[in-house]
Structure 1
Amino acid sequence: MPSPIVSDDAYDALPEHPCGTAVLLLAGSSGRLESARADLLSRRGARVRAIRWFGGIGQRPTAHEVPIELFIDQIELLRRDHDRVAIFGTSFGAEAALVTATTVEVDATIAVSPSSVVWSGLAEGRWSSHWTLGGSALPSVAFDPAWTPTTDPPEYLSLYSSSLTLDPALTEVASIPVERLSGDLLLIAGGDDRVWPSAAFATAIAERRRAHGSRTTVVLHPDAGHRLLLPGEIPAAGGVNMARGGTPSADAELGMRAWPEISRILDLNPD
């Protein structure tokens, strides 16, 4: 396999036998470059660009008012040399992937531990949306100010769940318009996610798209948590200190269920 091209804020995995699909790969709140996952997909023929989308050179310091244009530009660059372009994100990265796919044409979107709404982020003592588009902050769900953690490390599931009910009208406005999403959509979530209710979010996304005549593939596992383990991957270390739920075995079982659908939607080469 050709050697990857590595820079401070990007990791480009180049396949030996291209399948014709290019993938923009986005991590979540860890801010890491998903190099191992990029290599995994590249071994099956995908050309993968994993990028850092906050905390990097010239980027926003946190997941707060990040321009969606950052992802759109990457999609358009990959489109120049590839017939099929996909975006693959996890957690906050899944939120970014879904929003991006409603604003620019992609052939496939994969969202792991997704959100059905846009959330608020914090920087320099100021709350605002995770994302901007055209210089304006997208509508976002604010957090419940009365919430306090009751576990160590904290489980944020109850924070996200209670925040959704504070202002139903705002929650609706902040819902990602997934009916606009072009191409195939694959959602992957664990029923024991202790970060946010990703399985419920996945169901809500699929139902919204079904109401508009669009099909969605959803892969769930009742005992998996927030982090997906694909075949050959090892549990990630580091990231924000929080409870994520699941177990390595359940997270890997979710990965085994999801892998055939990932291979299909990305049109990967057979094993």
Structure 2
Amino acid sequence: MTVVEHELTSPWEAVLMEPAAGGSTGVVVLSGSSGRVDRQRARLFAERGFRALAVRWFGGAGQPPGICEVPLETFVAAVDLLRSRGARRIALLGLSKGAEAALLTAVHDPRVDLVVALAPTSVVWSNVGPGLDGQQLPLRSSWTWRGQPLPFVPMDRSWQPEGRGKDGGQDGGEDGGEGNGPVAIRGWYEQSERTFASRLDAAAIPVERARADLLLVAGGGDAMWPSLPYAHRLAARREAAGAPVEVVTREDAGHRPVLPGESPATPSPTFDHGGTPEGDALLGEAAWAAVLDRLQRLDRLDAIAPPPHR
């Protein structure tokens, strides 16, 4: 399918990919803490007939250099743009911290019809890297809404991985950084939850409030954070509210599912993402089938009953 690419520089760096004969559904594609514009993943959707917008949501001009008090309005603006291009149904797909952003955006923006959360968390975490002030400390929320920081769980800075000093190099983000060899930091998140247990309820992502359908994709072997237990927590909140949710998982997959047509993830010299290449690919294949089913369902639903203006 012919795909037209548009390079955007405002209100953020982004690429918009539009199929020559697309449907009524648009997809916002959010990377993890690499901060990159995920062109390859956006193209996968465009080649299937969906408008796809991949945005840089931190680290760009006028944005925090790290994932520190990033306004959720950043993602609302992405929804606005897709709707201005004719998308009447909206999906958000995010990986890791991008999944955290997607889930929170759906809680606050009822125009979102579907969230695909790859390697999600069930709580809001503290910042990864510096804010607009250039400072990493004191710890602050990763996100704001209408200028107010969201409640968050801090990272326990006393944690030390085997063979590493304090902080374990986490500031490099999920897709790479500086360090002296791969390290699993899942234990850091687990310890932080124990240390700050009193803050978990306030920081929980209230996915039961989201109008959107939820598809959660997590590997049992995730070594970055316990995304599968997080996915089960999110699913339990949805099920208790009678809201739609599905969890797609494989025990041998790690933090980075690989969708069909994507290049295999490059091993990080800093972080152990867990899982196996085969498991990551098989989880991505199962997830892709579920994602396409939901997106095609949105297109069919729109053809029968276009959504009211909202």
User: Shorter-chain TM-score: what band?
Assistant: over 0.9
1:175 equivalent in alignment to 2:175: no
- Partner secondary structure for residue 60 of structure 1: coil
Alignment partner for residue 257 of structure 1, among 274, 277, 286? 286
Q: Percent identity?
A: 42
Rounded Cα–Cα distance in structure 2 between residues aligned with 1:101 and 1:183: 7
Rounded Cα–Cα distance in structure 1 between residues aligned with 2:292 and 2:216: 14
Cα distance per residue 1:20-67 (max 9 Å; x no partner):
110111000111111001111111011000000000111110001000
Equivalent position of 1:129 in the other structure: 141
Equivalent position of 1:196 in the other structure: 225
Q: Which amino acid aligns with 1:146?
A: S
1:223 equivalent in alignment to 2:227: no
1:149 equivalent in alignment to 2:136: no
Q: Which amino acid aligns with 2:37?
A: L
Greater Cα offset, 161-170 or 101-110: 161-170
Contact 1:143/1:163 (<8 A) preserved: yes
Alignment partner for residue 185 of structure 1, among 214, 225, 248? 214
Rounded Cα–Cα distance in structure 2 between residues aligned with 1:120 and 1:148: 18
Structure 2 segments unaligned to the other structure (5+ residues): 164-180, 300-310
Rounded Cα–Cα distance in structure 2 between residues aligned with 1:44 and 1:210: 30
Equivalent position of 2:121 in the other structure: 115
TM-score, normalization by structure 1: 0.95
Rounded Cα–Cα distance in structure 1 between residues aligned with 2:212 and 2:107: 10
Contact 1:101/1:182 (<8 A) preserved: yes
1:267 equivalent in alignment to 2:296: yes
Please list, as runs of the form range in 1=range in 2, the aligned pairs for 1:47-86 lying within 5 A after superposition.
47-80=51-84, 81-86=86-91
- Partner secondary structure for residue 56 of structure 1: coil
Cα distance per residue 1:205-261 (max 9 Å; x no partner):
000111111120110010000001111111233778311011211100001111111
Rounded Cα–Cα distance in structure 2 between residues aligned with 1:240 and 1:108: 34
Rounded Cα–Cα distance in structure 2 between residues aligned with 1:38 and 1:3: 12
Matched length? 269
Greater Cα offset, 229-238 or 189-198: 229-238
Structure number with larger C-alpha Rg: 2
Cα distance per residue 1:162-192 (max 9 Å; x no partner):
1111122211100001001112110001000
| C-alpha spacing 1:49/1:239, structure 2 compared with 1 (3 Å) | farther
Equivalent position of 2:102 in the other structure: 97
TM-score, normalization by structure 2: 0.83
- Tell me the C-alpha RMSD between the 2 structures: 1.6
CA positional deviation for 1:71? 0.7
1:206 equivalent in alignment to 2:235: yes
Rounded Cα–Cα distance in structure 2 between residues aligned with 1:171 and 1:97: 19
Equivalent position of 1:22 in the other structure: 26
Greater Cα offset, 247-256 or 76-85: 76-85
Greater Cα offset, 65-74 or 149-158: 149-158
- Partner secondary structure for residue 108 of structure 2: coil
| C-alpha spacing 1:62/1:131, structure 2 compared with 1 (3 Å) | same
Q: Which amino acid aligns with 1:198?
A: S
Rounded Cα–Cα distance in structure 1 between residues aligned with 2:58 and 2:51: 22
Rounded Cα–Cα distance in structure 1 between residues aligned with 2:212 and 2:68: 28
